[in-house]
Amino acid sequence: MAALDGLPPLREVIATHGIAAKKNLGQNFLLDLNLTAKIARCAGDLSKCDVLEVGPGPGGLTRGLLAEGARRVLAVEKDARCLPALAEISAAYPGRLEVINADALEIDPLAHLTPPIRIVANLPYNVGTELLTRWLTPPAWPPVWDSLTLMFQKEVAERIVAQPGSKAYGRLALLAQWLTDARIVMTLPPEAFTPPPKIHSAVVHLTALPAPRFPADPKILNRIVAAGFNQRRKMLRASLKSVAPGIEARLEAAGIAPTARAEEISLEAFCRLARLLAQG
């Protein structure tokens, strides 16, 4: 890709600008431009989309997104050391890259974009789950974004796509699968990164559904799921007893055995229980 965009290899960029990865920022840089282009392609046709990227670092994925034809990229980078490298990319793609030096947890970057919007990011490990949860809980559904293509630690990715009965199944799986079609589209070994993390990574692609997969009040659903998974080993009749009076009868009415545990219950059944509780 260096030949395509006229920019130097990423190792050279890092050396020139002194951008050593910082552990406290959750940074692990992906330097293989063939891999970053492949991740960009996992997001689909970007030619008619604005793209939000969080934590671009020296700009490997940024270059992939632009080279793959993204209409416009908004990159939110907390580390000011990366700004000169990103400015060089902006100069190579006039009018198509805007960089905001900010913490993505403290601003609303989506307000700076024009739909259709896709979010594509190699998320800093220390904020990835929180950002995903925020994007999945906008004030109204469907959200302003069409899809999320995000890199996580592999164990987090597995939690997003987990099914009932598995150790990884929990609140994150239920939230993601209630609102999106989610699948793992790539896995990457530690040696793909600089510095190499101790774990494998995976890219998850989540496509927003036009409406939640099953009807349910979000607040009630979140309350029962939180209570159930906060005490994973307890039977639901015990873990949900503080949620509503007569919970055992409500569980049975929803087709859920009161002796079952949260990790055994399907999304559809949780939504059925939430609807029953909404009736009072």
Q: What is the pLDDT of residues 25-51, one digit of tens each?
A: 777 889 899 999 999 999 999 999 999
Residues forming beta bridges with residue 120, ordered by sequence position: 149
pLDDT reading at 213 higher than 60: yes
When pLDDT is averaged across residues 107-127 and rounded to a whole number, the result is 92
Tell me what pLDDT residue 253 has: 97
When pLDDT is averaged across residues 228-238 and rounded to a whole number, the result is 93
Of the pLDDT bands very low, low, confident and very high (cuts 50, 70, 90), residue 233 is confident
Whether the CB-CB separation of 99 and 77 falls below 8 Å is answered with: yes
Query: Which strand ranges, in their side-by-side order, compose the sheet holding 50-54?
Result: 97-101, 72-77, 50-54, 117-122, 145-153, 201-208, 180-188
pLDDT reading at 116 higher than 60: yes
Tell me what pLDDT residue 194 has: 85
Number of residues written out for the chain:
280
Strands 201-208 and 180-188: antiparallel
Tell me what pLDDT residue 20 has: 82
When pLDDT is averaged across residues 173-184 and rounded to a whole number, the result is 98
pLDDT reading at 249 higher than 90: yes
Tell me what pLDDT residue 126 has: 82
Between 126-130, 136-140, 148-152, 214-218, the lowest mean confidence (pLDDT) is in: 126-130
Whether the CB-CB separation of 205 and 120 falls below 8 Å is answered with: no
Closest C-alpha among 183, 174, 180 to residue 269:
174
**In terms of DSSP H, where are the helices of 70-192?**
83-92, 128-136, 154-161, 171-179
Tell me what pLDDT residue 2 has: 46
Q: What is the pLDDT of residues 59-77, one digit of tens each?
A: 999 999 999 999 999 999 9
pTM comes to 0.94
Between 6-15, 202-211, 260-269, the lowest mean confidence (pLDDT) is in: 6-15
Share of the chain above pLDDT 70, in %: 99
> 85 versus 5: which is more confidently predicted?
85
pLDDT reading at 3 higher than 60: no
State which amino acid sits at residue 32.
D
Share the mean pLDDT of the chain. Answer: 94
Of the pLDDT bands very low, low, confident and very high (cuts 50, 70, 90), residue 142 is very high
Whether the CB-CB separation of 196 and 140 falls below 8 Å is answered with: no
Q: How many CB atoms lie within 10 A of CB 220?
A: 19
pLDDT reading at 139 higher than 50: yes
